[in-house]
Amino acid sequence: MNNKNTIEKVLDIWHEHFKDEDTHYSEFESSDIEYFAGCMLYNHFAFSKALENLKTMDLSYDFLSSCGNEYDEIKALIQSMEFDDELQKLEFLQNYISQAKSKYTKNELYLLERLQYHVNAMAVRYENNVEVEHIDFENPLLKK
């Protein structure tokens, strides 16, 4: 199975699972499926130019607790995806996000746009051959 067919199968499995409203969690959006599949791709690809604080994207507990037994199958499908190099992985993920966004309205795109922002920022580091910079996030309330 090629990579495009693999990710389509992942999406089909989860969209079928989440058709049943009993599987929804509070604030569930159909676009969450594409977002979390994108996060799993991002984590699987383990980009070397990802910021230290963004080496992985967390999957929400709500989603994981609602996605059922299909999670193991989906994880195996995503882990089966192979690419020759990181640039191919990056291009695949960028195309995946663009296609996923085209399925939804602006109001449904918050999570996908957040993922796209991080992936596109990383793409600039690849394009410019810039090494990763570590970012320390500080709580402004602790600075007082």
Indicate the average pLDDT of the chain: 90
The answer for residues whose C-beta is within 8 angstroms of residue 64's C-beta and 6 or more apart is 71
Q: Taking the model in full, what pTM does it have?
A: 0.86
Q: Do the beta carbons of residue 100 and residue 38 sit within 8 Å? A: yes
- Using the CB atoms, write b or e for 14-46: b if 16+ within 10 Å: beebbeeeeeeeeeebebbbbbbbbbbbbbebe
Least confidently predicted of 2-11, 113-122, 130-139: 130-139
* Residue closest to 65 by CA, chosen among 28, 101, 38: 28
